Amino acid sequence: MKTRIIGLDPGLRRTGWGVIEVEGNSLGFLASGTVNTDSKMPLASRLSQIFEGLLEVISKFTPNAAAVEETFVNKNPKSTLKLGQARGVVLLAPAHSGVPVAEYSATLIKKSIVGAGHAHKDQVQSMIKVLLPRARPNTKDEADALAVAVCHVHHSERQKLIFSRKQSL
């Protein structure tokens, strides 16, 4: 049975998204892109652009699960707050559509994809091309979103295995 996962990389200017399919041990790339906002618009309008853009993607690809990158704390509190608001919208869109949402830290995502928790974005982008040969992300936001989806595959399967082992004891 195929499972479709959407990975989401929150951002106020650009929110990356990537959709993959999983069947057994096989990963397949479906699509990726970004939802861009107009920086000249008020914050509420930009958040609405993210929400509407993601609802459109979710409606088109009908994922079974969503995975979102957790926000890191910035040096600029105002920027951190705005990013947090964008992240809230990114969490809301799949939940609003009835899609279960998981969250992963940037360190765990990088470790899952590259093998090192402090890998550079270029390394993540290169490994995504190896793991998903048909993927050609145009931006680092897209590559990060695909990495979040792949991380979810690794960790959700591990959780299912742990849970099934506990049930059999």
Kindly name the residue from 9, 21, 142, 144 that is annotated as catalytic.
Answer: 9
What is the spatial distance between Cα 153 and Cα 7, in angstroms, rounded to a whole number?
A: 10
Catalytic residue among 21, 69, 142, 144: 69
141 is annotated as an active-site residue? yes
Is 9 considered catalytic here? yes
Long-range contacts of 52-55 (CB under 8 A, 24+ apart): 53/15, 54/8, 54/15, 54/17, 54/89, 54/90, 54/93, 54/94, 55/93, 55/96, 55/97
Structure tokens at 128: 């995504």
Examine the residue annotation and report whether 69 is marked as an active-site residue of this protein.
Answer: yes
Catalytic option among 52, 103, 141, 157: 141
For the annotated catalytic residues, the residue numbers are 9, 69, 141
